[in-house]
Amino acid sequence: MDIAVLGTGRVGSAVGVRWAQQGHRIFYGAKDPHSPETQDLVERSGPNASVSGVREAAAACQVILLAIPWAVTREVLDSLGPLEGKILIDCINPLTPDLKGLEMGFTTSAAEQIAEWAPAAVVVKAFNTVGDAAMADPLFSGQSATMFYCGDDEPSKAIVRQLTEDLGLQPVDAGPLVNARQLEPLAALYVYLAIFGGWGGDCAFKIIQR
Amino acid sequence: MDIAVLGTGRVGSAVGVRWAQQGHRIFYGAKDPHSPETQDLVERSGPNASVSGVREAAAACQVILLAIPWAVTREVLDSLGPLEGKILIDCINPLTPDLKGLEMGFTTSAAEQIAEWAPAAVVVKAFNTVGDAAMADPLFSGQSATMFYCGDDEPSKAIVRQLTEDLGLQPVDAGPLVNARQLEPLAALYVYLAIFGGWGGDCAFKIIQR
């Protein structure tokens, strides 16, 4: 699959490298495609990866992963070309600058806001409740971390589900896009535990059953 | 420990029976203490349990578990006597009647609302993100379910932590009471998965580590 990975930070690089290694073609979209960090990322990703500006990367793909900071999300979306029918996978958490809470919630969510800003696209919330360590290596003492996703379009969700399995994470359908109002607070809980609660980033949520 | 368990529904009865079996004295507070269901619960709980109205149960104990529906919470709190210094363990989720979301969030939470309604008491949010099946039997394929709690008073949190361990659940400190804004949406996610997502009630969240 051709996937535009917009954002080459910890999330974008963690999933980009692994998807590229598995044969997906990764089109990184970077603010500065020529920076040494970005070039290093492309090299680590192997022959299936390339990098350009965000507009070019998004234009090349049907599936676009948004792994950019919340603060620049609208600006980046507005800078992209037509998004008709494209799948926007939203990994973004609208964290407050002190990382102790969210900038929105309950009556809306970043995912719903993105869907409003990009009405021609289909938004699936995903990859926001696990840290980049879990994306790079999904196994914790032999158990795969759970990755919740939600959205309103089943075919798009099936693609996200497959991309999640490709990373070795356990995909769990968390319902319609409005349930991003639950998944974003879950990310805030993860951030609290990792940064302030003494857990560190190398932990993850898992659904357990009998 | 003497614990008032207000509410004899699924949550109150699940924790009440087990705590009583472990030697805690359980004072159930019921709307109708003489109903056959309540009498049966007391019998199942053994010699450490008794039942009365909610006011009498709360008056007898320093630790009070609120396992009542959100809709009657204020009314019940107002019906209790003085709560100076008592610990209110809030298991309540302010679910909408269709169980698909919450009645409040982001700028507040049920826990914070309860703290406002009962300013003389100390509120700890707990036992709201696991189902009653996990409270009755915390082991899932050999792993104990995680039980998040949050609050602003460390000694009270230590008591809740111990009561959680007494149930065999893994207690995880989720920070200050304001983080109920994350724990209540997590409960809504659980309810979604259990009722609408095909998981059933017999699953639980777990934090996994390397």
> Does the CB of A208 have a partner CB in chain B at under 8 Å?
yes
Does B202 reside within a domain? no
Q: Which of A62, A66, A81 is nearest to A24 (CA)?
A: A62
**What is the per-residue pLDDT across B87-120, written as a single tens digit (0 to 9) for each?**
999 999 999 999 999 999 999 999 999 999 999 9
- Alpha-carbon Rg for chain A, nearest whole angstrom, is 16
Among A105, A183, A196, select the one facing B105 at the smallest CB separation: A105
Q: Give the Å distances, CA to CA, from B79 to B38, B76, B94, B120, B159.
A: 20, 5, 20, 14, 25
**Cα–Cα dist A118/A79, whole Å:** 11
- Rounded CA-CA distance A60/B84 in Å is 64
Q: What residue has token string 């990184």? A: A28
Is residue B207 in some structural domain? no
A144 CA to centre of own chain: 18
B108 to chain A, any CB pair closer than 8 A? The answer is: no
3-class secondary structure per residue, chain A? CEEEEECCCHHHHHHHHHHHHCCCEEEEECCCCCCHHHHHHHHHHCCCEEEECHHHHHHCCCEEEECCCHHHHHHHHHHCCCCCCCEEEECCCCECCCCCCECCCCCCCHHHHHHHHCCCCEEEECCCCCCHHHHHCCEECCEECEEEEEECCHHHHHHHHHHHHHCCCEEEECCCHHHHHHHHHHHHHHHHHHHHCCCCCCEEEEEEEC
Please indicate, yes or no, if residue A64 is contained in any of the structural domains.
yes
Q: What percent of chain A has pLDDT over 90?
A: 100
Instruction: Please tell me the distance from the alpha carbon of residue A108 to that of residue A196, in angstroms, as a whole number.
Output: 26
- Residue A127 maps to a domain: yes
- Could you give phi then psi for residue A39, rounded to 5 degrees? -65, -40
The answer to whether residue A206 is domain-embedded is no
In a domain, A209, yes or no: no
Residue B206 placed within a domain? no
What value, to the nearest 5°, has the Cα angle with vertex A197 and ends A195 and A203? Answer: 70
List the single residue in A145, A189, A209 with the smallest CB-CB distance to B182. Answer: A189
Contact B30, B9 (CB under 8 A): no
Tokens of B101: 């979301």
Tell me the C-alpha distance between A6 and B68, whole Å. 46
Share of chain A above pLDDT 70, in %: 100
Pairing of strands A146-151, A122-125: antiparallel
Give B-chain residues touching A178 at CB under 8 angstroms. Answer: 101
- Please choose, from the candidates A189, A192, A6, A203, the residue with its C-alpha nearest in 3D space to the C-alpha of residue A90: A6
Beta bridge partners of A62: none
pLDDT tens, residue by residue, B118-168: 999 999 999 999 999 999 999 999 999 999 999 999 999 999 999 999 999
Distance CA(A171)–CA(A30), nearest Å, equals 27
Across the interface, which of A172, A193, A208 has its CB nearest the CB of B141? A208
Judged by CB atoms closer than 8 Å, whether chains meet at B204 and A203 is answered as: no
Q: How confident is the model at residue A15 (pLDDT cuts 50, 70, 90)?
A: very high
- Which tokens in the block code for residue A91? 């990994």
B43: which residues sit within 8 A by CB, 6+ positions away? none
Q: How far is A105 from chain B (nearest CA, A)?
A: 5
CATH code of the domain covering residue B69:
3.40.50.720
State the DSSP string of B28-61: EE-SSTTSHHHHHHHHHH-TTEEEE-HHHHHHH-
- Distance between CA A29 and CA A64 in Å, rounded? 10
User: Hey, are the CB atoms on A204 and B207 less than 8 Å from each other?
Assistant: yes
Residue A208 lies in a domain: no
Q: A interface mutation test: which of B130, B172, B179, B182 has the most A CBs within 10 A?
A: B182
Q: Which among A140, A182, A208 is the nearest to B203, CB-wise?
A: A208
Q: Please give the pLDDT value at position A78.
A: 97
Q: What's the structural domain count of chain B? A: 1
Query: What local confidence, expressed as pLDDT, does residue A123 receive?
Result: 98
Q: What is the pTM of this model?
A: 0.96
Instruction: Write out the residue range of the structural domain in which residue A97 sits.
Output: 2-196
Residues of B in contact with A134 (CB under 8 A): none
